[in-house]
Homo-oligomer: A and B are copies of this chain.
Amino acid sequence: MDHATIGRSEFDQATAVRPGPDPSRFLVDVDAGWTVGLKPNGGYLLALAARAAGGAAHAAGADHADPLAATAHYVAAPDPGPAEVHTTILRTGRSASQVRTTLVQGGRACVDAVFTLGTLRDDVDAWWEAEAPAEVAPLASCVAMGPNPPGADFTVAIRNRSELWLDPTGLGFASGQPSGRADFRGWTSFRDGRPADPLSLLYFVDSLPPATFDLVASGWVPTLTLTAYVRARPAPGVLRIRQWARVVDDGRVDEGCDVWDSRGRLVAQATQLAAIRIPDGATAGPGEG
């Protein structure tokens, strides 16, 4: 299916929520198709929880379907398979509602998240913006990332769900030559043609390889906490995306992610703190090391 619609797509199926044993609980299936290695992608889990949050707000009489702000704290990594999302309404208001969710699997709380929900407009222009969209090489000059990166002993299953074309300036890491910039830029969209919407931006902001791959060949870089703001309803078309790191220290790194729609509107921005293990004696390539 090349033209999946919102509501009938791989992403919508994988984030579906069903009523649970009481109105505050929702049944979900953590989908094996949205994983990196054995573990579900953090942005996918955030979108899954957002569906439950929206369901809880709707049940409480609040017609706020769009995530405006979302923060997840990843407590334990769930496995693909059945789980529940427990919801608590913090506030329902005229313009926004706030809902807390906990994704629980096998009695274990895995992801704690809080959402501010509202209704986004599809404004072409912001009232004010400090910066122009990030410069990215034209899509035809970028490199499509596949689910089996060279040398990796795991599958990036999410690359079968969303396409990512990376600007070649950030691709040195794939051949063991990180640039030392930690700044990935590219283009992304769902493979099945589903348009991007506010919900799916919660996935896209966590869908790139760790920007630190462009510094050092570390192991995986698990997200500890992720915060995303969705600023406008995206126009149809491929998304422009940038992910960058600012500081690596003492086992942790912060990474920012910005997403622009096809009109150049900044539609989502995110920040995350992740754990990273730097190999002994390694320096950030190319640098002096």
Q: A residues near B, CB below 8 A? A: 68-69, 71, 73, 75-76, 90-91, 95-96, 98, 100, 109, 112, 114, 116, 120-121, 123, 126-131, 181-183, 215, 224-225, 227, 229, 231-232, 244-252, 254, 266, 269, 271, 273, 278, 284
**In the complex, what distance in Å separates the CA atom of A224 from the CA atom of B100?**
14
Q: How far is the CA of A195 from the CA of B172 in the complex (A)?
A: 43
A73–B76 CB distance below 8 A: no
Are B128 and A225 within 8 A (Cβ)? no
Of B75, B229, B284, the residue contacting A254 (CB under 8 A) is B229
26 A-B Cβ contacts within 8 A?
Answer: A69-B225, A69-B273, A73-B98, A75-B91, A76-B91, A100-B112, A114-B114, A116-B224, A120-B250, A121-B250, A127-B248, A128-B249, A128-B284, A129-B246, A129-B247, A130-B181, A130-B246, A227-B227, A227-B271, A229-B254, A229-B273, A231-B250, A231-B254, A232-B249, A232-B250, A247-B266
Question: Is there contact, CB below 8 Å, between A247 and B126?
Answer: yes
Q: Is the CB of A69 within 8 A of B224?
A: yes
4 nearest A-B pairs in the assembled complex, by CB-CB distance: A126-B249, A128-B248, A128-B284, A227-B227
A112 and B90 form a contact (CB under 8 A)? yes
Task: Report whether A225 and B126 are in contact in the complex, using a CB–CB cutoff of 8 Å.
Answer: no
Partner of A71 from the list B68, B73, B90 (CB cut-off 8 Å) is B73
Check A90 against B114 for contact (C-beta < 8 Å).
no
The smallest beta-carbon distance between A122 and chain B, in angstroms, is: 10
Residue in B closest to A102 when the chains form the complex, CB atoms: B90
Question: How far is it, in angstroms, between the C-alpha of A131 and the C-alpha of B269 when the chains are bound?
Answer: 20
Contact between A215 and B112, CB atoms less than 8 A apart: no
Contact A98:B71 (CB < 8 A) given known A114-B114, A248-B127, A250-B232 = no
Asked if B114 contacts A248 (CB within 8 A), the reply is no
Contacting residues, chain B, for A249 (C-beta < 8 A) = 123, 126-128, 231-232
User: In the bound complex, how far is the Cα of B130 from the Cα of A183, in angstroms?
Assistant: 9
Q: How far is the CA of A125 from the CA of B165 in the complex (A)?
A: 34
Chain B residues with CB under 8 A of A284: 127-128
> In the bound complex, how far is the Cα of B227 from the Cα of A71, in angstroms?
8
Q: Which residues of B contact A95 (CB under 8 A)?
A: 251
Partner of A114, one of B71, B130, B269: B71
Verify B215–A247 contact, CB threshold 8 A. Answer: no
Given pairs A73-B114, A114-B114, A128-B245, 12 additional interface contacts (CB within 8 A): A71-B71, A73-B116, A75-B91, A98-B112, A121-B250, A126-B247, A128-B215, A128-B284, A130-B246, A229-B252, A247-B266, A254-B269
